[in-house]
Amino acid sequence: MGHFNIVQLIIIWGPPVLFAITLHEVAHGWVARRFGDPTAQMLGRLTVNPLKHIDPIGTIIVPAVLLLLHTGFLFGWAKPVPISPRNFKNPRRDMAIVAAAGPLSNLGMGIIWALVIRLVALLYPTLPWIEPLIYMGLAGVLINVALLVFNLIPLPPLDGGRVLVGLLPRNAANTVDRIEPYGFYIIILLMITGVFNVILMPSISWISQLLLPAGFLP
């Protein structure tokens, strides 16, 4: 996307990023509501209005810095949707399913954006101005696959960690659960050292290539 200026890049990446992080959180809240926890609904978080979910750092500053630095990788997050597991009939199982809903929503959005690319590509010969929509679809695939893979890391407080806690025997789950207060610092350390790139990028690239039409390489 090197031939686009910064304003065009913001326009291309903005909607996919906002949808990816907003619907990720809405998915958590919606599934929690299905399992008996109305907390997110009561706080007005079961909405696709991004203003209800924006985190100034994760939704605006981090993606903007990555975009300005031309890192080739965009990432972000929204305010977590509040969940009260005590409202679940089976807290460990239900919390694991609620946690899985976020990454699964990103997989679904990645598939939808890939279909958008295929649709608009059919129109491309007659509508040259539709090229930005193709790149927006590409951005949608990449950001959603990145969120899918990142959030499935089995480390609390990430969704993958919560899924792991729900699957493990209780004693082992309690051990993993105790990592959560330090999870954020572990994530930052892994990012700074580049370990995440080594671990995540092959999976992100592989899944993206499965979704994208031939010739669209991330």
Q: Encoding tokens for residue 15?
A: 């909607």
Q: Nearest to residue 26, comparing CAs of 47, 43, 50, 44?
A: 47
Query: Given its phi and psi angles, is residue 139 left (phi above 0), alpha (psi -120 to 50 degrees) or beta?
Result: alpha
In 10 A of CB 185, how many CB atoms? Answer: 9
Amino acid symbol at 199: I
Q: How far apart are the first and last CA of the chain?
A: 11
180 catalytic per annotation: no
**Which amino acid is located at 210 in the chain?**
L
Q: Tell me how far apart the alpha carbons of residues 41 and 47 are, in angstroms, rounded to a whole number.
A: 9
Q: How is residue 77 written in tokens?
A: 């997050």
Residue of 22, 25, 117, 143 with catalytic role: 25
* Residues annotated catalytic, as ranges: 25
